[in-house]
Amino acid sequence: MDPGTGRIVLRKHGSEATFSELSYVYPLKLLSPRLSPQNANAVYVLTYGGGLVGGDRVELSVVVDAGAALVMLTQGSTKVFKNRPGHRLSARSQGTLSDAVTTQSLEVSVAREGALFLLPDPVTCFRSAAYNQVQIFRIDTSASLVLLDWVTSGRKSLGEEWAFSRYYSMNEVWICDRPLAKDVRKAKDARKEKDVRLVKDVMLLEEQEPVHSLPLRTLADSLAPYSCYATLIMCGPLVQSTLRSLSTEYAQVTVFKHASPPDLLWSFSVIGDGTACVVRVAGTETETVKDWLGERLAPFEGAMGPDLYHRAFG
């Protein structure tokens, strides 16, 4: 396996699901805590050294078998450094420490009646860091997905609010009306015309080049006063009651002019045939966004198990 690559395969055997493969190479690290058989299986996605540096490249593939449920978490925010003194670029990275981009890619396959809850802590980019993330999900029509993707402004205590050079995140969800390939790499090659792309969501944050005769507008100028932005994508049978609850709550939101920006803003959009949605949240503090999400996603405690739910939002 190449540096920074990893693979997770969760298979269902009778009434229990077990990992038939859990492999990784530095700087990636995967840990699976032992939980009650009644809980969903869990994997913590970590990196050695507490974060990623310029030039690091992480590629992770995930296969969730029919009827299995997987929760993917992190232990704290994913920190992205421009460089680290004495750190050597991974073997596959190009360029120098001063200009290398940190990249993460995730490819996921979820079979019939399976479920994936991707609930990491937010990405935190340090000053001048550059980060690219691409996540592609292929799920069966009867499978469920809860995908949380969020980013913070950086180290506010050090005055690094939106001080990174680039943040790019792309999430693409495909609905597959056929048996999914056991190998996510083969699934990509086996895509048929009847597969439907449910959503392609892209966020790009980067400093703009100065334009003649126009005042320079920094990222901080554009994104203030909020220091955390989150995107939540949900689809499948397990999310329907939560989707309806959010839809009802959003319909009751009253739009009016504020004397000052509220601490939290959110929007709700139904996608596809109405059984999926995209929720966007912005908050002045990361904990404000986390608390809001934790309250709205509380119904998933039953599917995830109380221990995993509280690890994600406690």
Residues 257-269 have a mean pLDDT of 92
**55: alpha, beta or left, given left = phi > 0 and alpha = psi -120 to 50?**
left
pLDDT in tens, 185-233: 555 555 555 799 999 999 999 987 777 777 778 899 999 999 999 999 9
Q: Compute the Cα dihedral for 233, 242, 152, 27 and give only its sign.
A: negative
> Tens digit of pLDDT for each residue in 236-251?
999 999 999 999 999 9
Judged against a pLDDT cut of 90, whether residue 271 lies above it is answered with yes
What's the pLDDT at 84? 54
Claim: this prediction has a pTM higher than 0.95: no
Give the Cα separation of 224 and 19 in Å (integer): 43
Q: How many CA atoms lie within 13 A of 248 on its CB side?
A: 7
Pair of tokens at residue 164: 């990174």
Segments making up each domain of the chain, as ranges: 5-223
Is there a cis peptide before residue 27, judged by omega within 30 degrees of 0? yes
CA nearest to 138, candidates 64, 58, 231: 64
Which of 160, 188, 237 lies closest to 61 in space, CA to CA? 188
Residues 120-162 have pLDDT tens digits of: 999 999 999 999 999 999 999 999 999 999 999 999 888 899 9
Cβ neighbours of 26 (radius 10 Å): 12
By 3-state DSSP, what share of the chain in percent is helix, strand and coil, each rounded to 5?
20, 40, 40
User: What does 171-209 look like in DSSP terms, one character per residue?
Assistant: EEEEEESSPPPSSHHHHHHT--TT-EEEEEEEEEEEPPP
Helix (H, G, I), strand (E, B) or coil at 118: strand
* Burial state string for 147-176 with b = 16 or more CB within 10 A and e = fewer than 16: bbbbbbbbeeeeebbbbbbbbbbbbbbbbb
> Are residues 198 and 174 in contact, defined by beta-carbon separation less than 8 angstroms?
yes
* Per-residue pLDDT at 88 exceeds 50: no
pLDDT of residue 181: 54
Beta strands (DSSP E) in 65-178 are 69-73, 78-80, 102-110, 115-118, 123-125, 130-140, 144-152, 166-176
With cut-offs at 50, 70 and 90, classify the pLDDT of residue 312.
Answer: very high
